[in-house]
Amino acid sequence: MHLGLLLQVIALSMLLVDPQWLSVAYVMVAQALSGIAKDLNKMSAKSSIKMLVADDQQSTLYRWIALLTGSKNALKGFGFFVGAALLTWLGFRGAILTMTVVLFVVLLFSVYLLDRQLGKASFKPKFRDIFSKSPAVNRLSVARFFLFGSRDIWFVVALPVFLHAQLQWPAIYVGALLAIWVVGYGIVQAAAPKLTGYSKAHAPDGQTVWRWSLPLMLLPMLIAAAVYFDWMLMAALTAGLMVYGVVFAINSAVHSYLIVAYADASGVSLDVGFYYMANAAGRLLGTLLSGWIYMWAGLAACLLVSALMIAMASLISLKLPRNGA
């Protein structure tokens, strides 16, 4: 976690150089470091919760994982508005410098307050150990690959371009809609234990993943039909996007809990890290396909491929362990 925070400070500091240095390649390197930093922090935070909750308190683990995941995403969406405000008030370099200083202070508090032995592995892993030996972790990772690929295949490139180019939305409206969506998405994730009815009974299992993936598969198909037939397009897109966000957030929260529950306590960060490696690969594929499919066939085609990828995730989740099985 400390390394992740330090890398984020370095990535932000790289953007404080003379503007003449800010080439595309240079900014991409800074972005890459920032992405690595984000995943190190996410992996560390979720792995730490595994060590703090007893094995027989799975419903408690589910609530904490949902709260952590949801708050992270809600703050990410809120960060779009904060970033825009800082950019307006302080300019680019002033905004970057402010974020760098604040994050460095957070790093100092983290070094001082957190227990360095928390989550420390009992063995020194080799490179081959990054690949999980658990069938449940492997299946869940593949399901996560398709799940997040299915979202980004229409949400990341195709939807913003469609709203701006086809529906003539101003860029600020498109950005605001997506930022609000991310905030709401995080709030729903945090509330997932109550929404799924597992907060006081028992924790989710593989059957829960299957059951919640079915409505998620139908939603892109319905939105695709509205786009193809141009039927109440504005209402169908906005309402469909919001309903999709609720169902996807619940799916994501259940997934996030299960990977921590399945992870081996002696090397939890390895299993969680492998899982988020699959997550990142799915998002990369989804982003690339989003631009390519939209360019050749449009938004409706992106949505149909999204539904197909969700179907793949659903079929894989059928093999996940079930409570009492």
pLDDT in tens, 78-101: 888 898 889 889 999 999 999 999
Query: For the CA atoms of 160, 86, 46, 210, what is the dihedral angle to 10 degrees?
Result: -20
Residue 322 lies in a domain: no
51 φ, ψ to 5°?
-80, -20
**Apex CA 42: angle with CA 248 and CA 281, to 5°?**
60
Residue 238 lies in a domain: yes
Containing structural domain, residue 246: 2-317
The pair of three-digit structure tokens given for residue 212, joined into one six-digit string: 């919640």
Residue 17 lies in a domain: yes
Q: Is the pLDDT of residue 237 over 80?
A: yes
The pair of three-digit structure tokens given for residue 140, joined into one six-digit string: 């869940």
Q: At residue 88, what is the residue type?
A: T
Query: For the CA atoms of 96, 99, 104, 109, what is the dihedral angle to 10 degrees?
Result: 180
pLDDT the model gives residue 125: 58
pLDDT the model gives residue 128: 60
325 confidence band (pLDDT: 50, 70, 90): very low
121 confidence band (pLDDT: 50, 70, 90): low
Range from 8-17, 197-206, 254-263, 289-298 carrying the lowest mean pLDDT: 197-206
Distance CA 256, CA 306 (A): 20
In contact, 271 and 279? CB cutoff 8 Å: no
Residue 148 lies in a domain: yes
Predicted structure pTM score: 0.85
Distance CA 153, CA 222 (A): 16
Number of domains in the chain: 1
DSSP 3-state of 120:
coil
Residues 6+ away with beta carbon under 8 Å from 151: 248, 286, 306
Residue 325 lies in a domain: no
Q: Is the pLDDT of residue 127 over 70?
A: no
Residue 210 lies in a domain: yes
**pLDDT cut 70: percent of the chain above it:** 90
In contact, 136 and 321? CB cutoff 8 Å: yes
Distance CA 42, CA 76 (A): 13
Domain with residue 119: its CATH number is 1.20.1250.20
